[in-house]
Each structure stands twice: as structure tokens, then as C-alpha cells.
Amino acid sequence: MSEIFHFRAAIFDLDGTLLNTLPGIQTSANLMLKDYELANVGPAEIRRFVGDGATMLVTRLLEHANGGKVPVPEALERYLSHFHRHCLDDIAPYPGIPELLNFLHSQNIPVAVCTNKPQDLAEINIHACFPDNSFLHILGDSPDHPKKPAPDGALRLAQAMQATPSQCLYIGDTNTDMRTGQAAGMFTVGAAWGFRSRNELAAFRPDYLAETPDQLLNYLSKTMQNEN
């Protein structure tokens, strides 16, 4: 897929794509590690470890800190307890995201969120940082569908927004997101402003790689002009 025309819906990842949630994640991770007298981690490690859900994040944190004797379910419960208190720490949309969402709304393009973050925390983050009705659907981690990179959640959102997969934009900042969008048959955009490197995203050959939300907005605006 080398060009996109007639797109009818947009699906965004949350952490590292819409919102910079790194401070709260790092604080919660380090509080959990402190509970077990394990060494702190910095933002570079957190950037590498996020993207595949809270269980995998905690698993990677314990492996990195040589906490192999700590039961993952117990550590996960502690992490989530801390994160419920810190999930809004210094949280903010990335520069240009509000303008990108406004553009999509102005074109009557429905917008949804597909994230591996637990459903309740995803809703807390979104409602704290965006006006009501910014997103038609928020789909977080739940037992009724597999986590990304499985395409099930993205495909469910496309159906809910009455769009075929080929009519959907899928925007995310990790290799997990690139695999999700591609597995769903969607036009996949790498968000190089997020938690992972441009090189990581480029290695998975997204249909478009944007350095900033403004760059993506300009690309979409020109694409829509070409449709007319």
C-alpha cells in the first residue's frame, strides 16, 4: 500500500502517540521496584519496555532489575496500584495532536483509540486530556479480545465506525503498532514523535512515517485535496 485515498476512520494508539504518559509510568514502575528493593529504571528503559500491556511491562522491569524471584502477578498488582495514583502525573498531549484531531473532526472522520493499557486507565487518561466526544470509541485491554499486535481490536473499531480496514488510518509509535495496523490491513502511520526510535518504526515499513503530528496533518490535508 503506497498511497491512501477515501479514508473514512482513524485509529490512534494512546501512550507515546496521543499522550506523553512517560512520567507517570516511570514513577509507578520505580515505586513497584522499590517495594521489592530493586534498582530504579530511567526513561530510556521505560521507552523500550512499554507498548505490550502492563503485564509485559512488569515482566520486563523485573527481568531488567534481576527480580526473577518476584511473582509477576503480585508485582503487577503493586504496579497498577501505584499507577492508579500516578497515571496523570505530568501527562499531556503531544504538540500538534489537538490540531490533528480537530482536522479529522472537521472532515467528519470518526476517531478511536486502540491501546494495550487497561480500559479504566485509558479512559482516565483520555477524559483528563481531551474534550468530551473527541473519540468515538476507546478500546483498552480487556479479556474479550487479544492484545496488540493482534488486529482484533483495530478491526472491531473499524466495524464500529462503519469503515473497511483499507479505509482506516492506524497511527502508533511502536513496532507493536506497526504490526497491528499491517495485520488489520490498514494504512499504517509510524509516529516518530513517540516512545520508540524512527529506525525501529522504519524497519517495519509503515505506509507513512511522520516526525510530528503537524507533518501528518499536512500529509493528510494534501491527500484529501488530491481526492477532490
Q: Which three cell numbers stand for residue 163?
A: 469503515
Measure the CA–CA gap between 179 and 21, rounded to whole angstroms.
Answer: 22
Q: Which secondary-structure segment (H or E) carries 14?
A: none
For residue 48, which amino acid is it?
A: R
E strands within 48-110? 92-93
Q: Catalytic positions, please? A: 13
Q: Is 146 left (phi over 0), alpha (psi -120 to 50) or beta?
A: beta
DSSP code per residue over 13-65: -SBTTTEE-HHHHHHHHHHHHHHTT-----HHHHHHH-SS-HHHHHHHHHHHT
The span from the CA of 4 to the CA of 210, in Å, is 15
112 by DSSP, 3-state: which? strand
